[in-house]
Chains A and B, each alone.
Chain A
């Protein structure tokens, strides 16, 4: 029987992580202070192109985004492609889902690959707090727009007369939640207090992050994942020599107005960071045609959101809901995961998530399970360090995590010859969370 022209392929192609490249992350105001989002994303992308020999290639699609974005960067990713060594005939689109932007580019491009719409893709993200957009005040903006529409001299004078000196102050982007007026740190301080997370536990997470990231750099793990940029060759926030004593000496910065002791410091919170990351994706055929070794399969993903506005759950707790749903759908438990990557927005974000999963009450009442969801083996958690040490250029974090853990998955599978899995979890503003399962190839 002749196959129908509209029937899809017998088996869907798998979406493979083939590699990644980022620029070292720099502290805000540091080596990349004058570099724009487009500059940094181009540097990361051109590094990827050079590493995998993709000069002049037409890629299926490139998707990337930035959380803090100039309005002139409405086509940031396409402009980046045009300025890169990829073929100018490579399509691209911008995507934005707060700090989940980078991971969502991986997920949505993987879905296109799985549908057979594209055979290859580059996912990415970038953010700069050094070159952040500064807007004029709403009153000044309205007056200027009225002025531009004014026809008569009288209308022009009337429009201009509305401008007050205080309207001239620029408005800088803020990281506070529009609906609650609380910064992300203040929100997390509430969640930290709710779950009774101690200062010591947070500092231990921060210390492990620095020590593990430093060890990975020392071992050369990042040599084929990072391209130096503007004289920066390692992550600028990394403090290899930090200690519990040094971390304990820092003054708390969030939760100062609460009735419980403030425990969140600059040491156990991520700093403002500049950076960009990219991930190369493709199906088996494309990978083989380009002589590339697949590292991991993007198996599945799950997003979640919480009602933090009314205090039902903490702002950054959505992954605590997404992961149980994701694992259940795939017939997996926490014990089936060889690696658990939980983005360290704050050390306490990791700890409140783990605490929620270990709580009988949360499991029964919020997750609808028979009891606690489970316990994560700390030895499998953020094995090469995470955002506390590397820094967190918002949209670039997802790509950093996916490329890093995909390389680790492949290495582990080659060593042990058995299936190896990783969970990636990223929390985001607006009470969002995005999680994904990767499996070694």
Chain B
């Protein structure tokens, strides 16, 4: 990867990033249909960098209350994700990003929280894309965000996205297939009551105002019958359900399967499993889960 460090003056406002994203998606889409746009390339690009990021304690408290965390001075890993997200989005909406950003599907997320990040810490945020690779229904890419405090990497998040129907130029070995085992619903430990405004409320604290989460009308434009919950909101709820048992250093993973159409009251199981916790959320009677994941202490 060519580490071309691009300095951003600050964490970009997501509203403008989304606006640019819509424009560039539209432009690329049109160009692709006309056969003029380059097919997505695998590999290197820019590393976006924003230094000196401070945590807004009020926003943190609102986030913690929404996802069910106590308003501790230690940032939940999902809140760090929310801080880094606009930088990752800016990367996706930059002209040389290989895939059309809007309408990309968030497949999975892997966060390594190697040390607690606290209110008052000064965060150094970097984001880059890596590993553009084929998927059975398109092309996937990893967006890596990394946070340093006092020079040490304290948080690394890898978000894997899928651009449906987009074929990468290089497809060594053909499209990967990720057949899942048949889903057997476990014994639930609880249920989430997700109101119709869940997406709007999470958008307010996370800044992620992707229209598919905000209203049924906007979601329909992207092929969903109703607004869908932010995947990272549901994963954050699961992380909160694990609670303080996770410690300050942990690995938090999630794989998103079926979207949560709002309103919804999915069953959840968050339970000890091995050295850590495993979690699943599903709609009773459904053939598959909404999401599955783990929270494991980092040793």
- Give the number of chain A interface residues (Cβ < 8 Å): 21
Interface flag for A394 (CB, 8 Å)? no
Interface flag for B65 (CB, 8 Å)? yes
Give A264 to B289 CA distance when docked, in angstroms: 64
| Contacting pair B73 A39 (CB below 8 A) | no
B240 CB to nearest chain A CB (Å): 9
> Interface digits, A58-100 against B, CB 8 Å rule (1 contact, 0 not)?
0000000000000000000000101111001000000000000
Give A82 to B245 CA distance when docked, in angstroms: 10
Give A84 to B72 CA distance when docked, in angstroms: 10
Interface hub of B57, B58, B62, B71 (most chain A Cβ within 10 A): B71
| Contacting pair B243 A39 (CB below 8 A) | no
Interface flag for A373 (CB, 8 Å)? no
Give the contact-size bracket for chain B.
10 to 19
| Contacting pair B244 A39 (CB below 8 A) | no
Given the interface pairs A83-B243, A84-B244, A231-B120, the reply to whether A43 lies near B73 with Cβ below 8 Å is: yes
Which of B62, B72, B120, B247 is in CB contact (< 8 Å) with A43?
B72
Interface flag for A38 (CB, 8 Å)? yes
| Contacting pair A229 B61 (CB below 8 A) | no
Give A84 to B69 CA distance when docked, in angstroms: 10
Give A88 to B69 CA distance when docked, in angstroms: 15
A391 CB to nearest chain B CB (Å): 19
Q: Which residues of A contact B244 (CB under 8 A)?
A: 46, 83-85
Give A35 to B65 CA distance when docked, in angstroms: 9
Interface flag for A366 (CB, 8 Å)? no
Give A93 to B247 CA distance when docked, in angstroms: 25
Considering only residues 185-237 of chain A, those with a C-beta below 8 Å from chain B are 228-231
| Contacting pair A39 B70 (CB below 8 A) | yes
Q: Which residues of B contact A31 (CB under 8 A)?
A: 57
Which of B69, B72, B119 is in CB contact (< 8 Å) with A231?
B119
Given the interface pairs A34-B62, A231-B119, the reply to whether A83 lies near B73 with Cβ below 8 Å is: no
Q: Which residue of B lies closest to A79 (CB)?
A: B70
Interface flag for A129 (CB, 8 Å)? no
B147 CB to nearest chain A CB (Å): 19
Interface flag for A36 (CB, 8 Å)? yes
Name 7 A/B residue pairs within 8 A (Cβ), A-sorted.
A34-B62, A39-B72, A43-B71, A46-B72, A80-B70, A83-B69, A228-B73
Question: Interface of B with A (CB < 8 Å)?
Answer: 57-58, 61-62, 64-65, 69-73, 119-120, 243-245, 247
Question: Interface of A with B (CB < 8 Å)?
Answer: 31, 34-36, 38-39, 42-43, 46, 55-56, 80, 82-85, 88, 228-231
